[in-house]
Amino acid sequence: MTNYKVLTNMLADCKEGDLVSEKDFAGANIDALVEAGHLSIIHKAIKEETDK
């Protein structure tokens, strides 16, 4: 499952900096949110590196 970082304070039930996944946006068009700049994709390798 792809994870995302929230980049704005315009998303329902989220705030900037939150880490979310696809299931947090059921019914939403995730690609559109990424394209609009509301979310950025966190690649798994980067996340694991960050978690260390």
Per CB under 8 A, residues contacting another protein are: 7-8, 10-12, 25, 27-29, 31-33, 35-38
Tokens encoding 14: 């989220």
* Residue 7 or 42 with smaller CB distance to another protein: 7
* Residue 31 or 48 with smaller CB distance to another protein: 31
By CB atoms closer than 10 A (0-12, 13-18, 19+), residue 52 is exposed
Minimum CB separation of residue 2 from another protein in Å reads: 16
C-alpha to C-alpha distance for 43 and 52, rounded to whole angstroms: 15
* Residue 36 or 41 with smaller CB distance to another protein: 36
